[in-house]
Structure 1
Amino acid sequence: MAAPVNSPRGMRDFLPADKARREHALGVIRGVYRAHGFDEIETPVVEDYARLHAGLGGDNEKLSFSILKRGIKPEALAAAVEAGDPEQLADLGLRFDLTVPLARFYASHRAELPPVFRSIQIGPVWRAERPQKGRYRQFVQADIDVIGESGIIAEAELITATSQVLAELGLKDCVIRVNDRRILFGLLEHCGFAAEEQAGALITIDKLDKIGVEGVAAELAETNSGAAAAMRGILEGVDAALAAGIPVTREAIAAVLPAGAAEAGIDSLVAIGEALAGGLPEGVELRFDPTLVRGMGYYTGTIFEIAHPGSGSSVGGGGRYDGMIGRFLGQDVPAVGFSIGFERVVDLIELDGSTGPESLALVVDAEAKLEDLMALKRELVAAGNRVRIEKRQKNMKTLLARLVEEGFAKVANVQPGVSDLSELSWRELGE
């Protein structure tokens, strides 16, 4: 007996119904983002190895898949292993996100793009994850970015467009959590963490939802016990406020932060909150979360993340990364982006079958003329329908059940000699 032929571990095949669900969601995302003035681009799925490991991708760089150089000889392989230098073996790698390719794209095509460039980028990315529910080695990201705008209008546009996507997909009870990296560093400085201790401290604070306040304080104390005690007090005070939800207003933010900490970051968030007050669709809320870190080291200002009660992890996130493009261009360019976690979002949405063209099935007798059958199909397709031809079976119950499962709404029998649509008698499926 042959062994089962499974898809590669951590990667998936999609049956027609699953693919239709995904394409519906992608259509909604593209349509909303284009309506908000963003333009779609496409970048290669591979990038130079050195670019993928330039320190821009945080921990994701450790999860990247590398592509071996062509024609590499055994002695070169042995030398690279002995030297511990993988760059001797690989010159390319699969992209682990869409932000690094976008930065390279902008640096390459800046002269051909408008001063403020609003991009859509949707496509697969790869990470050597440990496969588990909601986490795969190949998955789709759906990103929008604004490059060239330093003002908070960029953040306001991103949050507005993304919140409309969530609403159009039918997701309710979404919370967009916002923070600012300047607030985080201001808190760390206020608590007494030295500059060289702050990056590690942020990594620890990012574990708050997994190890709790006690665990975070204990880990921080290994580096700086006095500062850890001060941070513990702040986190304990924030805990109850987070459960209730902290509005993005000056009063609410001031109530949970020490006086004088990171005023620039607070001013920015307050301005965003005021610009979006009352403007987000029903079912989407904007909330301040001073414990939000976002793992990527390239964020420089505003950061945001989407929480949904149906998912154990965030279903989207992003932030401002003003320093990244300068690494490629030699000149700093302001940039901010928002990425939807497509795989998690698509698992949360429901389709009612009313989207897209009507799906019709023609069940044909063996004696029906092929030219008549094709004429009928052409006319139905020209009218905007989705049409499938099925041969009549002895067990019609099985065939009809399958058509219902695949989303077909109506069926008609095509008898010999029928060549006009007016001669067809349609039957509703699923009744």
Structure 2
Amino acid sequence: MSNLPFGFGPPDPDKPGDNGPSEGGQQPGADAFNQLGQMLSQLGQMLSQAGSSSGPVNYDLAKQIALQKLGGSAGGTIGFASSGDADSAVRDAGHLAELWLDAATILPAGASVTAAWSPRDWVQKTLPTWQRLCDPVAQQVSGAWVEALPAEAKQAAGPLLSMVGQMGGMAFGSQLGNALAQLASEVLTSTEVGLPLGPEGTSALLPANIGKFTEGLELPSSEVLVFLAAREAAHQRLFSHVPWLRQRLLATVEEFAHGIKVDTSALEQLAGQVDPSNPASIEEALSSGLLEPQTTPEQQAALNRLETLLALVEGWVDVVVADAVGDRLPGADALRETLRRRRATGGPAEQTFATLVGLELRPRRMRAASALWKLVGDRHGAEKRDGLWSHPDLMPSAEDLDDPLEFAERLGKPGELDDPMAELERTKREDKRDPGKDDEPGS
């Protein structure tokens, strides 16, 4: 991981206490926790004013901070006379994109609504999904604090432990709010990070951000809008009509977060950095890098699965949108390459996500996946290509991305997934006839 989860940061060499473990490596003592108790009593009023928080992150505070930072940012007009004209243009672009996509894929339209969101809209409508993604990270860190305490310290702290949780929730909420504000001012669509962050059945574009993105492209804003609407609509077709995909993506991110381990030997240093008279020192201490997470083999395996699945999603969208727009948009090839680089090299969205959840959400193998999907479509048609999404067991693997030609040839062999749905039914029938076959050697 090149970025650390929210609540973590690189050590500051100029900050006292960042030069390594304290002498003797002693566990947190009574003095440190007396100091913590003083701080908690001073924070009581602030905690009561920061909004309710029943989990490891204070999402009320996160939302307040994000919306405050965004101010009154509206949807933007992307070259149109008014925001109303921009809303109408987004709807028209979405309708045109859906018509073109109908000829490029067998998956039907997945969105019943195409909406123009302001950055503030994006924060409010995606926050429930962020909560699902961020809770495991914060829960692991909060749990590590408590588990690291010696038994006598836990007994002495007593009811203060719940206040420690509130304190951590505020610190995480503050960082999350700042990160969401930054992300909301940069993303172009609701699916740009590759995950279904918004409500089901809604395609959403952010005209204000698209306007800024378009400024340096020397392309008509209408072309950029239609192209991005096609990408958003293609994502929504997958997320709406591939039942397992949404859950698999989010669950894999959660699995990664649940595996986070922290080095709690520096807890005494962490307590020593907190100034009871300065509540802001809580967040500074949490960002000092003292509780830097350690990547586990289980996390790496989850990350590999996530990267492969993201690459397959983004590669499919890339190919289908290219087929849909065809020669209709003169600047389509340039836009396609620009967005490929933005995704593959880690644009602002990916970088901010890495800070929030602790992993880089980059489809590093998107070009390989795109080549595979194009090859399968050219050789076997869109029906067989898109039919592979009917079940996760039919999907190309990371090894198939290494050799897309072999995968395409395998699909063409008699009995080798001639009909993906028929193959799935055949597998189910075999499982029913021989339920114990998975336990046999070599199976």
Q: TM-score range by the shorter chain?
A: under 0.3
Larger Cα-atom Rg:
1
More strand by share: 1
- Name which structure has the greater RCO, CA cutoff 8 Å, separation 6+: 2
| TM-score using structure 1 length | 0.23
